[in-house]
Amino acid sequence: MWSTLKLPAVAVLCFVPWCSGIQEAKRQENSSCSKYRTAAYYANWDIYQRKFFPKDLPIDQLTHVLYAFANINPFTGQVYLSDPEADTSIQFGDQTATQIGAQLYGCLGQLYSIKKNRNLKVLLSIGGATYSQNFAGPASSEQGRTLFASSAVDLVKNLGLDGLDVNWEYPVDEAEAANLVLLLKETRRQLDQYGDSLHTTYHFELTFAAPAGPSNYRKLDLAAMDQYLDFWNLMAYDYAGSWLVPRITGHQANLFSAGDASTPFDTKSSVDYYTSHGVASHKIVLGMPIYGRSFTKTKGLGQSFGAVGTGTWEEGVYDYKSLPMDGSSEIYDEKLGASYSWDPTKQELISYDTAEAGRQKARWIKSMNLGGVMWWESSADKKGGDSLIENVVLELGDCIQHAANNLDFPDSSYDNVRNPPVSQLPSVTASIGALRCGHRHRTYLATAFMAILVIFIFSIFSIFSIFGIFDIFNTSDTLILNLFNAFKIFNIFNILNIFNTSNTINIFDVTFRNLGTKFL
């Protein structure tokens, strides 16, 4: 009998340590290489005048899309979509109504289909400047916090999202700051509860849009908040603008202080405060503006101004892709980590990040061991080699974070989210090209894994044959049930989740998930 059992025994004995090796290799890779997040906000109003759609995002350069914004009922705490037509209903050119059942369309439908890039996570951002006034009431009661969390998680379930971004601008005192901690705690609890309920458990991310102004961040209990957050999106911009009193022109996103009126705030001071109050540097994602703040009727930087420019869509604010304007020259100050344009004829100064300033910030992110970069907001970027996003991503190098998104949403009310067709099952290729480190090694591991998996299946069938299982059970369902249970015993499903590197693995995973639904 030993000669007959030799193949299955050897296969199983080799399989267990090999799986441990996979886990160790993955752990080492993530700790030493996959590091920087690249997150861009996408606003649901971009589809209107801006004519910028989710499919236009540079998804090969992003790890996260932060979808702005969901609103909050100020009395009950229920989180809801702010523009259901744009969010879930509008049918774009690549979306048709031929499918059977309820279909997710709109911006969120297009984003879900884009998740075929398995390294792209989509988070729903709640609040923002317009809706932040609605946080305080619900956050002050247990009932409000519970409904906030449950309704937000319901949106995650239905819309095929990978997490939530809380954008409360800003708690006004210690009481509201304490309520924010409780709100994050309850949201984290319900996200984990849902993630643990899935066939393959998944960690849904929770992030926070963090202030860079001392009058705002000093009110927050950073250490208490941090235990519930995956990372912080530090809004390191809007340091200067039309609201300043006195009306003095200044840099709006400088890294360092000049020690005068031209830099009322600076990013380094903000980062230093966060890290000295309980936030690990690798959890801080540095925000960069893809727009410029205008000052007119001025003699230059650090001087008084009389008005602001007309702007691209909003007074005083210009899209990066429209800068520098005709007649202007760009000035880059490496000492401050800042840049601006100056038109002496119009007497207009516009503060914004140039590609050169963006590359300097990327180098600073690496030197400070920060967690990556965030941009507000994606529709304003240039294309090609002048793109601010592209320049920063290339400067970050080959260690962009690699962490698979989630496609398992069995509770979604949308058929195309709950049961994605095989054509939608993603293939993890080198979607970020040269920026995706370690992909080739994962592909080799996946191929080796599939070979050993075949040996393991034959081993199971050999064991069945030796002990006469085929004679005992004479129905195909019973045979599949025994094979399925054997796969559960050896934890095949969780091991499959390590990779996500080919259509073959994803189809295999979905097939056995369906079998599990049948037999469990």
Model pLDDT for residues 306-361, shown as the tens digit of each residue: 999 999 999 999 999 999 999 999 999 999 999 999 999 999 999 999 999 999 99
List of the chain residues with pLDDT < 70? 1-34, 94-100, 421-451, 453-455, 457-520
* pLDDT at position 420: 74
- Residue ranges covered by each domain of the chain: 2-22+438-519, 34-289+354-396
Contact in structure between 334 and 360 (CB atoms under 8 Å): yes
Q: Both tokens of residue 489?
A: 């015993």
Instruction: Give the Cα separation of 298 and 301 in Å (integer).
Output: 8
Contact in structure between 254 and 336 (CB atoms under 8 Å): yes
Long-range CB pairs of 453-459, under 8 A, 24+ apart, other chains included: 453/492, 455/7, 455/11, 456/11, 456/12, 456/15, 456/490, 456/492, 457/483, 458/7, 458/11, 459/7, 459/8, 459/11, 459/12
Q: Both tokens of residue 86?
A: 């744009």
* pLDDT at position 419: 85
Q: What is the pTM for the complete model shown?
A: 0.78
Distances (CA, A) of 56 to 63, 94, 111, 430: 15, 12, 10, 19
Preceding amide of 324 cis, omega within 30: yes
Instruction: Give the Cα separation of 190 and 155 in Å (integer).
Output: 12
Contacts of 307 (CB under 8 A, 6+ apart): 296, 297
* pLDDT at position 96: 65
Distances (CA, A) of 203 to 191, 193, 200, 406: 8, 10, 10, 9
Distances (CA, A) of 72 to 121, 216, 412: 23, 21, 21
Element housing 107 (H / E)? helix 106-114
* Each residue's pLDDT tens digit, 167-201: 999 999 999 999 999 999 999 999 999 999 999 99
Q: Write down how long the chain is.
A: 520
Instruction: Give the Cα separation of 7 and 12 in Å (integer).
Output: 9
Angle at 43 between CA 42 and CA 45, to 5 degrees: 145
Which position among 169, 377, 390, 395 bears the catalytic label?
169
Instruction: Give the Cα separation of 486 and 453 in Å (integer).
Output: 13
* Each residue's pLDDT tens digit, 383-416: 999 999 999 999 999 999 999 999 999 999 999 9
Contact in structure between 375 and 287 (CB atoms under 8 Å): yes
Please confirm, yes or no, whether 334 is among the known catalytic residues. no
Instruction: Give the Cα separation of 395 and 373 in Å (integer).
Output: 11
Query: Which three-class secondary structure string do you get for 387-421?
Result: CHHHHHHHHHCCCECCCCCCCCCCCCCCHHHHCCC
Instruction: Give the Cα separation of 318 and 277 in Å (integer).
Output: 35
The architecture of the domain spanning 34-289+354-396 is Alpha-Beta Barrel (3.20)
Contact in structure between 121 and 205 (CB atoms under 8 Å): yes
Estimate the crossing angle of helix 476-489 against helix 439-466, to 10 degrees. Answer: 130
Q: Both tokens of residue 303?
A: 């001087």
